[in-house]
Amino acid sequence: MSSRLLAGRYELIEKIGEGGMAIVYKAKCRLLNRYVAIKTLRPEFTKDAQFVENFRRESQAAAGLTHPNIVSVYDVGQEGNIHFIVMELVEGKTLSELIEEKGRIDYKEAISITRQVASALSLAHKNQIVHRDIKPHNILITNTGVAKLADFGIAKAVSASTIIGGNNKVMGSVHYFSPEQARGAYVDERSDIYSLGIVLYEMLTGKVPFDGDNPISIALMHINEPMPSVTDEVPGLPPQLEKIIMKATDKYQTNRYRTADEMIEALDNIEFITKVMGNKAFTIPTDGFEAAEEPAAVQTQERERAHRSTEKRSEKTETDKSAEKAKKLSTAFIIGAVAVLAIAGIIGLGAMLGWFGGDNEEIEVPSFVGKTFEEAQTEAESLGLKIEKGEDVYSPDQEEGKITSQIPTEGSMVTEG
């Protein structure tokens, strides 16, 4: 189709990509004298009136989204049996190509890309648009490092790794879609957040968390298999980054971030810590982080409530030895450390970084899972420990009011009190 003129103004120059349902061309708009990308539906799909209508409606919805991290849609048209969409031409490569090229992406760059995509999703979700197919193939990275989200349900590629429903309705790419998509259940904004968590995992490790011989087996993994630990694959990552991935990819929608903005805030906390303290804040073993993070925070289960309680708590303990070591630090560093404690909600960060000494006896953390908070509190006090109740979550494994998880985990060694 190259060298053809569409709508009397778009001169097709060359094919630059294709998927199962569409072909993308580089073109020049003669009217505005600029280069654009034009996506055309494959002829075999133009005979399905419902699909063409969805194509037109969803592309028009995407055209209403103006955001630096969203590929702009300029025009939608038809010429004969050719249905096309005119979009911003992004000079760069897809995130999937970047992952294939680098293998693993540095966690700071991965955080930046994830934050940009989450920012794009924030605007889309506020406009009642759910993407439903977040994956590296739909994320374009410009030559200057800007991430741009494309294909808001416009023409998702159908391949061996894509599951479709009746009337060729694309449900999502199986390696990235949420458990509710796999079950054919209700899909909302938190389904996009799940997929973005999977993408973040792949950027950090160079591979998807769930893979198998066929789409059905992979879909079942999303429903039944626990999310693998990213720090097991890549030691030395910020522990909080793993917590973000785990929360974003929780099997239950109510346990995930409620909005993309919440996920952005969590990512910003990690960036802030890194800027203030550098990588030193994250070069300690995971057990050390867990022990210092908060005093045996436990989560109790509540089946009915979808909203979550405030996550961030902060607490700062000062001793003579901490003050003595703090004198060796610059004033700016000390101020930054206090800000990190307040913003990131990391309790005892000074102990995590080795600021606090002392010969306090370490205590092995017992398991509180399956007990009521009152029972756990009594046991903790008998051991010289303090615990705090975390958020209420849904769990199929525990009765209402029983503890379903704890941080630090059973067997971790913590200081008395």
Active site residues per annotation: 133
CA separation, residue 100 to residues 7, 24, 90 (Å) = 37, 21, 19
Q: Are 365 and 385 in contact (CB under 8 A)?
A: yes
Assign 300 to helix, strand or coil: strand
Amino acid at position 333, single letter: F
| Cβ burial, residue 26 (10 Å; 0-12/13-18/19+) | middle
Taking the CA atoms of 37, 42, 45 and 46 in sequence, report the sign of the dihedral they define.
positive
| Spatial contact of 404 and 301, defined as CB atoms under 8 Å apart | yes
Main-chain phi, psi angles of 148, to 5 degrees: -130, 125
8-state DSSP, 167: G
Amino acid at 150: A
| CB hemisphere CA count around 370 (13 angstroms) | 4
Which of 40, 94, 42 lies closest to 71, judged by CA?
94
Listed in order, strand segments (DSSP E) in 176-275 are: none
